[in-house]
């Protein structure tokens, strides 16, 4: 368990699962079975898109859990969602192309996009996800090649794009001829999620998936679900050609993890535990936060997003928070335009109940004290 001694800092900025939740022993057993099954070709270079047998098993898993329409022919294996995004960008964009992103957005994805020399434009969000009305206004003056969105349990805000907005987004993509890259790594981490974006349009939407959040980030395997028109473009990537796919050994192991039911069991375990931890942290925050700090209880995923009064700088607070035994991610790191200064992100998957309560209480006390001091200092 990610315990902390009473005196240690509870770092609610850490956005990952704790080590003890990652099923290393079960994986070791599955790895042995997976590697010894078959003819040993997993030790050789493989097909660019990933071995057929693995993609069949993955498609069956995805059909069971999120989208009855997925087939192996839609899937290209990647080294995780980050690699999937970079693969898409390398094949579908040129430096200088315009790409729309949410503001705020997952900061490492912003790095990947910036690394490809793209011209990024932020679209605002609210409690129901991407502001599609704002997007529509922007489309009258800007023509993006694609829009990168985290439509479910968004990082950092925790919000899920409302169904009517999903529909509208897809209509806009058709009308203004851009692709939607839906980063859906949190799709399975909550009970009440709308179906994935591709169910609305299999030609316009590409989806990024990953084992990072449902098994362990060290697996470094994920997938892109792509329209048939783009599937060949993706698999013809020179890096995949030279490497013979991402990791035939990894996919042999993961095929066994999928076929044996291990992934289903781990997913069940993780979602139950994260449900519980989400409740623990949000209750602690609801009890201890001052009235002028707002947040909406997320329904799944990893994160909650706190809004402080407009003129409070969360980055400055982040530097003094460790002295109060707590840490968090200030909002500005998630914005390409230096916005989100009065927001902060906390994660509820890393710590056990006691530490989460302590962290929530400490954050509440810090903000209460800071905001009171500020009010008293005002003339």
Ligand X SMILES: Cc1ncc(COP(=O)(O)O)c(C=O)c1O
Which residues would be at the binding site for ligand X (CB under 6 A)? 15, 80-82, 106, 109, 150, 155, 183, 185, 210, 212, 217, 222
Closest CA to 45 of 254, 234, 251, 245: 245
Which CB atom, from 183 or from 225, has the smaller least distance to ligand X? 183
> Considering beta carbons, is residue 178 or 223 the nearer one to ligand X?
223
Q: Are 85 and 148 in contact (CB under 8 A)?
A: yes
Task: Give least dist CB 153 to ligand X, A.
Answer: 9
Shortest Cβ 345–ligand X spacing (Å): 11
Report the residue number, 58 or 81, with the smaller CB distance to ligand X: 81
For residue 41, the minimal CB distance to ligand X (Å) is: 26
Residue placing its CB nearer to ligand X in the complex, 163 or 218: 218
Distance CA 235, CA 246 (A): 11
Output the smallest distance, CB 298 to ligand X, in A.
13
Inter-residue contact 143 to 164 (CB < 8 Å): no
Which of 219/318 has CB closer to ligand X?
219
Q: Nearest approach, Cβ of 184 to ligand X (angstroms)? A: 9
Distances from the Cα of 16 to the Cαs of 32, 117, 131, 215, 319, in angstroms?
27, 28, 27, 11, 21
Tokens for 316?
Answer: 């400055």
Cross-strand pairs, 222: 78, 210
CB-neighbour burial class of residue 39 (10 A; exposed 0-12, middle 13-18, buried 19+): exposed
């Amino acid at each position: 368990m990610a315990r902390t001694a009473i005196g240690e800092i509870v770092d609610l900025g850490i956005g990952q699962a704790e080590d003890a939740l990652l099923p290393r022993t079960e994986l070791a057993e599955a790895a042995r079975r997976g590697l010894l099954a078959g003819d040993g070709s997993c030790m050789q270079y493989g097909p660019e898109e990933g071995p057929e047998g693995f993609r069949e098993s993955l498609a069956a898993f995805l059909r069971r859990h999120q989208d009855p329409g997925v087939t192996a022919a839609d899937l290209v294996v990647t080294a995780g969602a980050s690699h999937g995004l970079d693969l898409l960008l390398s094949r579908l964009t040129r430096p200088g192309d315009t790409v729309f992103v949410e503001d705020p957005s997952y900061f490492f994805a912003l790095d990947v996009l910036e690394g490809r020399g793209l011209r990024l434009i932020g679209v605002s969000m609210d409690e129901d996800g991407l502001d599609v009305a704002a997007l529509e206004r922007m489309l009258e003056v800007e023509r993006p090649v694609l829009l990168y969105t985290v439509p479910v349990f968004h990082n950092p805000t925790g919000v899920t794009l409302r169904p009517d907005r999903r529909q509208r987004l897809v209509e806009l993509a058709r009308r203004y001829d851009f692709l939607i890259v839906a980063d859906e790594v949190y799709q399975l981490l909550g009970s009440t999620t709308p179906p994935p974006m591709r169910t609305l349009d299999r030609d316009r939407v590409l989806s990024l998936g990953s084992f990072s959040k449902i098994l362990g980030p060290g697996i470094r395997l994920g997938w892109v679900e792509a329209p048939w028109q783009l599937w060949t473009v993706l698999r013809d990537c020179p890096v995949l050609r030279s490497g013979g796919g991402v990791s035939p050994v990894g996919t042999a192991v993961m095929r066994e993890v999928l076929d044996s039911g291990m992934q289903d069991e781990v997913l069940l375990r993780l979602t139950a535990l994260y449900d519980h931890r989400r409740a623990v942290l949000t209750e602690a925050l609801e009890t201890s936060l001052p009235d002028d700090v707002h947040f909406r209880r997320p329904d799944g995923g990893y994160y909650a997003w706190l809004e402080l009064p407009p003129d409070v700088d969360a980055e400055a607070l982040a530097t003094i928070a460790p002295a109060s035994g707590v840490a968090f991610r200030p909002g500005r790191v998630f914005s390409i335009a230096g916005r989100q200064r009065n927001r902060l992100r906390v994660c509820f998957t890393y710590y056990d109940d006691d530490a989460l309560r302590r962290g929530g209480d400490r954050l509440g006390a810090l903000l209460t004290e800071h905001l009171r001091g500020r009010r008293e200092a005002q003339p």
